[in-house]
Amino acid sequence: MNETNDLNKLDRLDLNLFRVFDTVYRERNLTHAAEILCLSQSAVSHAVGRLRASLGDPLFVREGQGVVPTPLADRLWPDVKDALALFRQAVMRHQSFEPARDLAHITLAMNDKLEPSILPVITKKLHETIPDLQLASIRLDRSNLRADLVAGRIDFAIDVAQPTSPDICHTLLMRDEFAVVCRENRQISADDYLAARHVTVSSRRTGRSLEEYGLSRLGIEREVVVRCQYYEAACRLVADSDLLLTMPLHQATTINATLGNAVLPMPLPLSGIELHLYWHQQREVDPANQWLRGELMQMFNAS
C-alpha cells in the first residue's frame, strides 16, 4: 500500500475506535474494557479488528486471560492518550465556560466616532474579569460586515440600527438622544437653533450626516458651514467659535468633559438613535459569544 492510499484509509477511520484502543490498552482485558465502555465483548473485539485492519498490525495478542500490546500499540498509545485528553478538554470547556480561562482575544468593529465613548467602558469592564484579555477595536466596514462576521475576523459589531441579512443576529445595545454642544452655557430655543450656523460630522465625503436624516423628516434645513470627520475635532471648533454642534448625548458628555463646552438639550423634537450589537448566527449558542453579549448588554443597560 502506498502512502496516498494509507492516508485515504486513515481519513475514513472511525475516531471512536481509538477510545476502544485506549481502554483495552489500559485494562489489558477485552471483557473489562467492554464493561467500562458499556459495550458487549463482541463489539469491543470487532472495534479492535477494524483498527487492526486499518493499521496493518495485530495491536494486541492474547496472553493468559488477557491481552498484551504489540510494539506498535506501545508506540501509539501515548499519542492516542494525549489526543483523547484534548478532546475531553475541548468538550468540558464548551460545557463549562470560564471567561478568564477560555477567552483570550476579542475583536470589535465600530464606527470610529463611537470609539472614544464606548471603548473605554468596554475595556475597563472586561479587564476586571479577564485581566490578560487582548481587545482590538477596528473600523466598521458596513459593506463587508457579514463577510467579516462569517469569517470570524470580528466577533461583534456595534453600529446604528440598519437592515441586515437573515443570518446576522442583532439586538439593541443602547439608546441615545441628540444634544447641542455650544461654547457657552445658555438656553437655546428652536428659533436660536435654526438661526445659528452649524458644524456637522460625517465620515462620508458627501451626503447627510446622522442628525440631518432626522431633521429632514421634520422638514428642517439649517446652515452648515463646517463639515468634519470626527466629533472631537468638531467640539474643538465649537470651543473657539459661535458654531453649534448636534451630536449624541453620551458622546457629547464624554468628549466635552475636558473641553469646557456646554452640552444642552436639543430644542427640536429630533428622534434619538439606537445602537445595536451585531454577531453571526453560527455563534449564537457559542458560550463565549453568549457571555460577551450578556456583559455588553449589562454595561450599557440595554432594555
Residue ranges covered by each domain of the chain: 3-95, 100-176+274-299, 178-271
| Options 1.10.10.10, 3.20.20.100, 3.40.50.10860, 1.20.1440.230; CATH of 3-95 | 1.10.10.10
Q: For residue 303, what pLDDT is reported?
A: 41
Q: In whole angstroms, give the CA distance from residue 117 to residue 231.
A: 11
Q: For residue 129, what pLDDT is reported?
A: 93
Q: For residue 92, what pLDDT is reported?
A: 60
Same fold, 100-176+274-299 and 178-271: yes
Q: For residue 18, what pLDDT is reported?
A: 92
CB 179 within 8 A of CB 246: yes
Q: For residue 252, what pLDDT is reported?
A: 94
Burial class (CB in 10 A: 0-12, 13-18, 19+), 192: middle
- The pTM for the full model equals 0.64
CB 182 within 8 A of CB 261: yes
Q: Which of 188, 150, 159, 204 is nearest to 270 (CA)?
A: 188
Q: For residue 204, what pLDDT is reported?
A: 80
Q: Say which CATH architecture domain 100-176+274-299 belongs to.
A: 3-Layer(aba) Sandwich (3.40)
Let me know if domain 178-271 sits in CATH 1.10.1130.10.
Answer: no
Q: For residue 1, what pLDDT is reported?
A: 43
Burial class (CB in 10 A: 0-12, 13-18, 19+), 38: exposed
Question: Which amino acid, 62?
Answer: R
| Positions of the chain with pLDDT under 70 | 1-12, 91-95, 302-303
